[in-house]
Amino acid sequence: MKKRVLILCTGNSCRSQMAEGVLKHYGADAVEAYSAGSEPSSVNPTAIRVMDEIGIDISGQRSKHLREFSKENFDYVITVCDNADRACPAFPGPVKRLHWPFPDPPHSREVTGEVLAEFRRIRDLIHVQFKASALTG
C-alpha cells in the first residue's frame, strides 16, 4: 500500500510544489504525494522552470488550499515553512508530522541570474531531502 504524503507551505507555489514533484518522480511506486497551502496562490513559473532543468515536470500541478485535504487520512504531513508549521491543522487518523523548513525563494517578477541561482539552490536542497527520505521507497 502506498504511503500518503501531504506537503504544506503557506502559498503552495514553490517549495511544497517542488517537494511534491520530487516525491512523485522518485516515489511513484511507493507514495501518493500532494501539496497544499494555507494561503494558496499559483504555481510559480520559476519553480516550474528550475524543476524542468532536472527532468521533473511540475507544470501540471496546481496550487491547492489545505481545506481540500482536511478530512483525508495521510501517513505523513510535512511542513516546509515555519508559517505552515504553525498553521497546520490536525488531520484524522494516525499521522506523522515532520517539519523540514527550507528558505523562501525570492518572489520577484523579474527573473534575474541571482533569482534563478536562489531558486536552484532551494530546489537542490528540497531535491536532496525528499529524494533521500525513506518516503520514496
Reported for 132-137, long-range contacts at CB under 8 A and 24+ positions apart, including other chains, are: 135/3, 135/5, 135/23, 135/27, 135/30, 135/31, 135/76, 136/23, 136/26, 136/27, 136/30, 136/31, 137/26, 137/27, 137/29, 137/30, 137/31
| 80, 126 contact by CB (below 8 A) | yes
Instruction: Give the global pTM.
Output: 0.94
The pLDDT tens digits for 101-133 are 999 999 878 899 999 999 999 999 999 999 988
Q: What pLDDT does 13 receive?
A: 95
Q: Which of 9, 14, 51, 78 is catalytic?
A: 9
Does residue 81 carry a catalytic annotation?
A: yes
Does residue 88 carry a catalytic annotation?
A: yes
Does residue 9 carry a catalytic annotation?
A: yes
